[in-house]
Amino acid sequence: MVANPSDTPKETIHHKYAWTLDTSAHTPHPLQTSSTDGPIPLLKGRKTSHWACNQLRIDADQIGGEIVEHHRAEMNLRNKALIVLLCMIGTDVILRGYVLRRFTEYTLPQDASPCTKLLSESERRRMHCCESVELFLSADYELPEDAFNWWKRLQLERRNFSAYTETVGRLFEMIPPCPGLSEPRPNRCRTCALVGNSVNLKGSHYGPEIDSHDIVIRINHGRTKGYEADVGTRTTHHIMYPESAVDLDNSTHLVLVPFKIQDLEWLMKAFTTGFYGKSYVPVKSHIAANEELVMVVNPAFMRCVHDSWLSKKGQYPSTGFMALILALRVCDEVHVFGYGADDDGNWSHYWEKLEDKKFKTGIHPGTHEYSIIQKLAEQQKLKFYKGC
C-alpha cells in the first residue's frame, strides 16, 4: 500500500528547495548579535529558499565582519604590547651601559684595566724614578738649569741657558703648547708596538702583528715601503733628530729628540724658510710633516734615563732606548720589535746590506741597553720579538 503524501507531517517533508533548520540544537557564535525568537519555521519553495539564503548571507556577513574587527583589535593590542616591550628592552640596555660605565669609572681599582697590563701602576712608580720629570717640553715647562748644563755637553753646545730659553719660547709660538699624548689611565688599555731598525726584522713577517697595536712607534730612518710584510705599514709616532729626519704623512706625530739648541732651530726652519746650517752629517733643509702633531722630548727626561736606567754608561742614551722608556711611560702594553744585533753579533739595519762587520753602536751603550730589554722581557714587563 502506497502512503498518501498528504498524510506525511509537514515538518518531515524533504524538498530540494526546502530546508529544515533546528535552532534548538544550534549554539550561537560568541560574537553573533542577531538571533531568532524560537525555531525557524519550515521553508518551502524556490522563493522561500532564496529568502533563507539571503538571510544566511546577511548573518554570515555580520558574523564575519565582527570576527575581522575582533582580530584587528587583537592585532592592535599585540602591536602595542610589542612596542612597549621593545621600549623597555631599549631602556634597559641604555641604563645597563650607563651604570656599567659609571661603575667602572668610580670603582675600578688603581691597577685594574680592560687588558692585562704588563707593567702595573705600582711597578711603574718603582721603576720610573723619573716619574716627576715631564716627558715632553711644553710652553709652560721650565727646564732646570742644571739639566741644561748636562744636556749642552752632549754635542758641544756653546750657547748659554738664556739662548735656550729664548729659542724654546719661539718654538712654542709655532707648534702646539702641550704634547698630544696622555699617560695611561687605570680604566683604559693602550698597546704599543715599538719598532726598531735591526736587521733581525728581515723575514720575520711581523707586519700584521705590528699594525694591530693602538700606537706604532718608529725610529730615525725606519721605513715601511718595500718591507711591509716584516715591519707593517702603520706609524702613529716617529722619533727622530735632525740628522736622522724623514718625511712623514699628515697623521703621524713627529717626536723630536734634541741634542743641542740648533736642533730646535732646525725644527722651526724646516717647516718654514728651510734650514741651511751645518752638522756632522748633511741635514734635511725642509721636512714634510704636520706641525700640529709635533712633540719635543724634554732634555731633563733624557738625563734621567741616562742616570737611572743606564747608570751613566755611555755618553747618552740612544734614540732607540729613549723610545723604549717613553713607550713604557705612555703605554699599558709594550711590544718591542727590531732591537739587537743579528745572530753573528753584527749591528745593521733591515734595509741595508751589511758592509762593515766591525760596526757597533758608537757612543751609545748598545749592549747594555739590549741587556736591559732582555731583563724586562724576562720579568714580563714587555714582550720582546727577537726576529730572525
CATH number at residue 173: 3.90.1480.20
In the prediction, which pLDDT does 213 show?
96
267 and 168, same domain (yes or no): yes
Residues 236 and 287 in one domain: yes
**92 and 237 assigned to the same domain:** no
**Does residue 116 fall inside a structural domain?**
no
Does residue 144 sit in the same domain as residue 79? no
pLDDT for 366 equals 78
Q: What predicted TM-score, i.e. pTM, was given to this entire model? A: 0.68
Active site residues: 316, 364
Residues 248 and 347 reside in one and the same domain: yes
Could you tell me if 294 and 156 lie in one domain? yes
Secondary structure (H, E, C), the chain: CCCCHHHCCHHHCCCCCCCCCCHHHCCCCCCCCCCCCCCCCCCCHHHHHHHHHHHHHHHHHHHHHHHHHHHHHHHHHHHHHHHHHHHHHHHHHHHHHHHHHHHHHHHCCCCCCCCCCCCCHHHHHHHCCCCCCCCECCCCCCCCHHHHHHHHCCCCCCCCHHHHHHHHHHHCCCCCCCCCCCCCCCCCCCEEEEECCEHHHCCCCCHHHHHCCCEEEEECCCCCCCCHHHHCCCCCEEEECHHHCCCCCCCCEEEECCCCHHHHHHHHHHCCCCCCCCCCCCCCCCCCCCHHHEEEECHHHHHHHHHHHCCCCCCCCCHHHHHHHHHHHHCCEEEEECCCCCCCCCCCECCCCCCCCCCCCCCCCHHHHHHHHHHHHHCCCCEEECCC
Structural domain containing residue 150: 121-385
Same domain membership, residue 102 and residue 125: no
If asked whether residues 58 and 144 sit together in one domain, one would say no
pLDDT value of position 13: 39
Position 35 scores a pLDDT of 42
Domain tally, the chain? 2
- For residue 297 the three cell numbers come to 722630548
243 and 141 co-located in one domain: yes
**Does residue 113 lie within any of the structural domains?**
no
153 Cβ contact list (under 8 Å, min separation 6): none
Task: Quickly count: other Cβ atoms within 10 Å of residue 344's Cβ.
Answer: 8
Q: Point out the residues of the chain with pLDDT beneath 70.
A: 1-71, 84-130, 181-187, 344, 354-364
pLDDT for position 64: 58
Q: Are residues 176 and 43 in the same domain?
A: no
